[in-house]
Amino acid sequence: MEAIYAKVDGAMTKRDISAAVNVICDCIGDTLVKDGLLTISNFGTLSTYMCPGHDGVNIKTGKLEYVKPMKRVRFHSATVFSQLLNQRKKTFL
C-alpha cells in the first residue's frame, strides 16, 4: 500500500487505496469462481484448475494425511508484462 500511496502523491488516502485494492481482489475472486478464467490485458491470465487429492505430511504432527481435492489458481503472464519484469530485473542486478 505504501508504494501505491507514494505513486499517487497523496491524491488518495491510504484507506481509499486499501478499499480500492479490496474491491479489485473481490472482483477477481468473483470472476474466477464464476468463469474460471480472467484475462487482464498487458498483465496476464488467471485460471482455475482442479488439484487432485493426495497423501501429504502434516507439518505439525508429522503424520501422513489425505489432502482433499481443491481448486487452485494458475497465472500465465502476458508477453508485455514478462518483458517489463525482465527489463526491471536487469536494473537490480
Confidence (pLDDT) at 93? 55
What is the band of 3 on the pLDDT scale with cuts at 50, 70, 90? confident
pLDDT tens figures, 22-80: 999 999 999 999 999 999 999 999 999 999 999 999 999 999 999 999 999 999 999 99
pTM reported for the whole predicted model: 0.74
2-92 carries CATH number 4.10.520.10: yes
Confidence (pLDDT) at 22? 96
Average pLDDT of span 6-28? 93
Residue burial 59-88, b: 16+ Cβ < 10 Å; e: rest = eeeeeeeeeeeeeeeeeeeeeeeeeeeeee
